Structure 1
Amino acid sequence: MVSRRLRITGVSRSAPVVPAVILALALTACDGGVHGTPGGSGVHDPYFPKAGNGGYDVSHYDLKLAYDPAGGHRLTGTATITARATQDLSAFDLDLKGLDVDEVTVEGRRARWNRAGQELTVRPRGDLDDDETFSVTVRYSGTPQTITDPDGSHEGWLRTDDGALALGEPTGSMAWFPGNDHPSDKASYDIAVTVPKGLQAVSNGELTGETNGKNRTTFTWHSAEPMASYVATVAIGHYDISRSTIGKDRLPVYVAVDPAQAKASRKVLAKIPEIIEWEEYNFGPYPFSSTGAIVDRGHDAEYALETQTRPVFPGAPDTGTLVHELSHQWYGDSVTPKTWRDMWLNEAFGTYAEWLWDEDHGGHTAQQTFDALYDHGEDDHEDLWAFPPAKPSNAAHISDDPVYQRGAMVLHKIRQTVGDDTFYDIIQGWAAAYRHRNADTDDFTAYVEKKAPGKDFDEIWKDWLYGDGKPKHR
């Protein structure tokens, strides 16, 4: 925001003299030092306009949670959020759906607040200056909600047979903690979860503490690298835990599997080291300080999700799904979309990773997969040509086949145009250039053109990425 400034020009000698103190106060007020403005309730995402908030940027979440599945499914939480104001702020919003707010403080001082839908509006006692770092603490409690997405799928806080599973894509994180719930604002996290003794709590990053009380256990998790709210997770229940390391750098692997899924999952999860090493060879250095997986029962969730460092699977995944979700650690979790319109930058890469894995492991080549999709892809993907991958028709379609399958076809068209050497330079360079950052489709197309000067991508962008209907030429 550009502050309004008092502009003084052409003052005549006969004009009244303004006392210096009044002039100084006027200048200060107009400069925004005394009277800030509220941050926006939403960042105007093209599909979820109320998601996220304006006026600040979060650097860290410190979440302290307690949950008892047998005690009425009640969640109690204290969220301390460290952020930097990006304008002079008189108030700001946090996203929080459901749950009861007990108290809000800003910089240790009680703040006024009110609720309107998913918006928790906080009014500090004093204005926050542009570029000021501040902390806000929200104490809250209640029964967390399951959210139904525009496409009918469920996210937020999902009850399981023995606990709960928190999934956040696209807007479910607001069901279990207050924050700036939009992929454009990434932060580090500390998540401590207290559960009844005998249960476990698994989250993102590294387990830094396990403290046993008389009847409860607290698990503390730390994620140092920036993480979007939609890939934050908590899984509570009974799990078989395995720990190992990968490669010469001894990358930690932490895998949690529901005992009912242990036998069915064992063989495929044993491939995690092989998959990570293969993906590092193709995509560049692994972007986080640990990896792993969470496998719950098949009816606990409706889909797999690339929760950061520890993807979640509803039941034992097949190899392709495991390859897909782990590839998202590069494309989606490290390089994160600026808006939900850029979802194809996640899913096209995840899908193409499956094609490449097949190609390198005795299956169909990527060209064969591309040709089969072009010739009769509608047999398995009825809506394959319903809309272009970079322009889903509305929020209900951001996870539909064109985003995944046709998005992967865009990547293959780039590969056809530039050849394998340049293509792998592009996808590795893209992951490196935007590591732990946000990017959109324009960033990607500009990056491709920069890395392949002299190549003509107009037809790919026009017909395959943005064009309506089935392109005339493969």
Structure 2
Amino acid sequence: MSRSARLVPPAALLLAFTLTGCASGVYGTPGGAGVHDPYFPKAGNGGYDVTHYDLDLSYTPDTHHLTGEAVITARATQDMSAFDLDLEGLDVESVRVDGDDARWNRAGQELTVRPKRDLDTGQTFRTTVRYAGVPRTITDTDGSREGWLRTADGAVALGQPVGSMAWFPGNNHPSDKATYDITVSVPKGLEAVSNGELTRRTDSGGRTSFTWHTGRPMASYLATVAVGRFDVTRSRTPDGLPVYTAVDPTQSSASRTALARIPEILAWSEKKFGPYPFASTGAIVERGGDADYALETQSRPVFPGAPDTLLVVHELAHEWYGDSVTPRTWRDIWLSEGFATYAEWLWREDHGGRSAEQTFQAYYDHGERNYGDLWAFPPAEPTDAAHISDDPVYHRGAMVLHKIRQKTGDDAFFRIARGWVAEHRYGNASTAEFTAYVEKSAPDKDFRGIWDDWLYGDGRPDRP
């Protein structure tokens, strides 16, 4: 049941809309409800680009109650009479645009906002949404859980692919990245951990507030909050990069070895992929079972239980491929998962394990023994939304990258890997842009067979 902030007879609504348009001199149209992503058509919204989110949250685990105020700074990309935000569940208390009360209504995940005055193309505007309630856990089409996940002593928020709308309103699609300030108030004795750098911690009235700042653009699915009791460790890499880890006390002993290798992993990754793109790093480790998957939440990946070294390698590689360079649509997710999986192959190759070539051949010869759907669909074209995290995206994606390496040789391949993230740093990129970049970087090579057979082809290609 969705209801606007105040009930207005339909005729009065029409008159108010007409007068608003005349007063502003703008006859805008509503922004789109969704950006027509091939797998999540309702995700995101048209008509504007968010530049910054300022979230002020208060959470009480005993009652599972969340209150929030989201201040969303955005730029209109068209003349607009209304625009949508994505918000699943939770009760909206009020909406203001540039300080004026705005009309609004709810329909599913869409929060439609009608500002007092139409918005001009290029205009920067600020929307303030106050909301509250018990945030939901969302079940994906593949059966995994995202959104707001309750834990034994708090909660953890995971957003891939669309779960962020369970705890804050926004433009919930990877193509619209923004900076963030996230403040979370929790009962004293608990920690609230998020992305970026902890800029403030205050105690008042039996509660503690934590303020986190993310100064580089971040996709909404990469935003996180973890509330609970954590063993917190602050350190620095040899290059001075701050490292902040928060580990559930039950996981501290089992996590120690892998997390201690974060500086080593980052130094190795920089040699392969170029300079680390963010101002801090670290990890959040919850209990096993608190979540269904690890996620590369920007600058501070979340792990459901103690990770091993290869999983840390995978999630940290995402800081380059996925977080700094983010898929333009969910069809392009192989660009993130393929590179992160290939990073595991490279780590083994450089640390006494089998070579990437041996790994590739093993996958080709009998990979379906461990990954039954390995050849089910091409990595660049998952069957549907339920399959964007399936084996072909990860493992066949890595095989595509190895085929490029076979074609170009090591020196050229790693120039491509580094140059790709440098050219699209802090932005979005598509599969078509990647293939064009590879071809431009090695103009003397013919990649058509790789694209046709390995990236877009059905079934197992002929033996390489």
| TM band (smaller chain) | over 0.9
Match of 2:213 among 222, 227, 232: 222
User: Which residue of the partner structure matches residue 377 of structure 2?
Assistant: 387
**Match 1:48 to one of 19, 35, 40:** 40
Given candidates 304, 308, 314, the residue that maps to 2:304 is 314
Aligned match for 1:66, one of 55, 58, 72: 58
Which residue pairs with 1:264 in the alignment? 254
Runs of 4+ in 1 over 6 A off after TM superposition: none
User: Which ranges in structure 1 are unaligned for 5 or more consecutive residues?
Assistant: 1-28
Counterpart position of 2:113: 122
Cα offsets for 1:52-96 (capped at 9, x unmatched): 0000000000000000001x2000000000000000000000000
| Aligned-residue CA RMSD (Å) | 1.0
Which residue pairs with 1:36 in the alignment? 28
| Amino acid in the other structure paired with 2:168 | F
Aligned to 1:446: 436
Give how far 1:259 is off: 0.4
Instruction: Look up the match of 2:315.
Output: 325
User: Partners of 1:406 and 1:375 in 2: how far apart?
Assistant: 13
Q: Please state whether the residue corresponding to 1:37 is helix, strand or coil.
A: coil
Are 1:95 and 2:65 an aligned pair? Answer: no
- Counterpart check, 1:155 vs 2:152: no
The residue number in structure 2 matching 1:433 is: 423
- Aligned mate of 1:168, from 136, 159, 163: 159
Aligned equivalent of 1:285: 275
Partner residue of 2:294?
304
SS at match of 1:364: coil
Structure 2 Cα separation of the partners of residues 237 and 263 of structure 1: 18
AA matched with 2:375: W
Q: Shift of the alpha carbon at 1:33? A: 4.7
Q: Secondary structure at the match of 2:300?
A: coil
Q: Aligned letter for 2:254?
A: A
Distance 1:395 1:80 in 2: 30
The answer on 1:79 being equivalent to 2:70 is yes
Q: Shift of residue 247 of structure 1?
A: 2.6
After superposition, what is the alpha-carbon deviation per residue over 1:218-258, rounded to whole angstroms, capped at 9, x for unaligned? 0000000000000000000000000111133x111000000
Q: Distance in 2 between matches of 1:218 and 1:437?
A: 31
Partner of 1:396: 386
User: Per the alignment, in what secondary structure is the counterpart of residue 81 of structure 2?
Assistant: strand
Post-superposition CA distance 1:367-411 (Å, at most 9, x none): 000000000000000000000000000000000000000000000
Q: Quote the offset at 1:313 in angstroms.
A: 0.2
Q: Distance in 2 between matches of 1:210 and 1:454?
A: 56
Instruction: Give 1 or 2 for the bigger CA radius of gyration.
Output: 1
Distance across 1 between alignment mates of 2:304 and 2:402: 29
Residue 197 of structure 1: aligned partner: 188
Whole-Å Cα distance in 2 between the matches of residues 333 and 229 of structure 1? 10
Aligned partner letter, 1:42: G
Indicate yes or no: 2:343 matched with 1:353. yes
Partner SS, residue 428 of structure 1: helix
Contact conserved, 1:33 with 1:129, CA < 8 A, in 2? no
Q: How many residues align?
A: 443
Letter in 2 for 1:50: K
Distance in 1 between the 2:396 and 2:460 partners? 10
CA distance, structure 2, for counterparts of residue 207 and residue 437 of structure 1: 24
In structure 2, C-alpha distance between the alignment counterparts of 1:214 and 1:140, rounded to whole Å: 22
Three-state SS of the structure 1 residue aligned to 2:73 is strand
Q: State the SS of the aligned residue for 2:333.
A: helix
**Cα shift at 1:34:** 1.6
What is the CA–CA distance in structure 2 between the aligned matches of 1:69 and 1:247, rounded to whole Å? Answer: 38
2:128 equivalent in structure 1 = 137
Displacement of 1:113 in angstroms is 0.0
- Matched letter for residue 449 of structure 1: E
Q: Secondary structure at 2:242's aligned position in 1?
A: strand
Aligned residue identity for 2:203: N
Query: 1:299 Cα shift?
Result: 1.2
Amino acid at match of 2:27: H
Where 1:369 maps in the other structure, the secondary structure is: helix
- AA matched with 1:357: W
Indicate if the aligned counterparts of 1:33 and 1:88 stay in contact, CA closer than 8 A. Answer: no
Letter in 2 for 1:159: R
State whether residues 389 and 406 of structure 1, in contact with CA within 8 Å, keep that contact through their aligned partners in structure 2.
yes
Residue 214 of structure 1 deviates from its aligned partner by: 2.3
Classify the secondary structure of the residue corresponding to 1:38.
coil
1:39 counterpart letter in structure 2: G
Which of the numbers 97, 107, 122 marks the counterpart of 2:98? 107
With the length of structure 2 as denominator, give the TM-score of the two structures. Answer: 0.95
